[in-house]
Amino acid sequence: MYSGSGLQLQHPLLSQNTHDLVPYLESQLYLEQDLPDLASLPPPRLFATHLPYQLLPQSVRDSKCKLVYLYKNPKDTFVSFWHSANKLRPRDKGEISLQESFDKLCRNVSLYGPYWDHILAYHREKDTFDVKSCIQRSL
């Protein structure tokens, strides 16, 4: 869609955070209600999750839904993890250093489980479950 002045592209992704456009199952939908009625949401029903493939409900894995596994460049992921960990960390404990955060990533310790295992689990299922993977590049 174009605006009336200057043919400027007006797409929601240009003006809104993707987290506001695509709700996270574990941090938005299920925090608001114990059992949200997902079928009542208007199509297309798009959801995001940080869950590893192994923790997806069996009903999702048995369904005909499409999965798109979007992951970032590992360097971007590391910086994002570092910022997230410091936001969640109590102020009285101080900031986690980049070095400490990097050491944890190298030991496969992160907020959402082992990073490489997370990527590889979805990648292994790409043929049996029609999982589409793509890397999100830095802008």
Q: What is the DSSP track for the chain?
A: -B-TTTT-B--HHHHS-HHHHS-BIIIIIHHH-SS--GGGSPSS---B----GGGS-HHHHHS---EEEEEE-HHHHHHHHHHHHHHHS-GGG-PPPHHHHHHHHHTT--TTS-HHHHHHHHHHTTTTS-EEEEEEPP-
Catalytic choice (50, 83, 118, 123): 50
Question: Any catalytic annotation for residue 11?
Answer: no
Cite the beta strand spans of 66-122 per DSSP E: 67-72
Catalytic residue numbers read 50
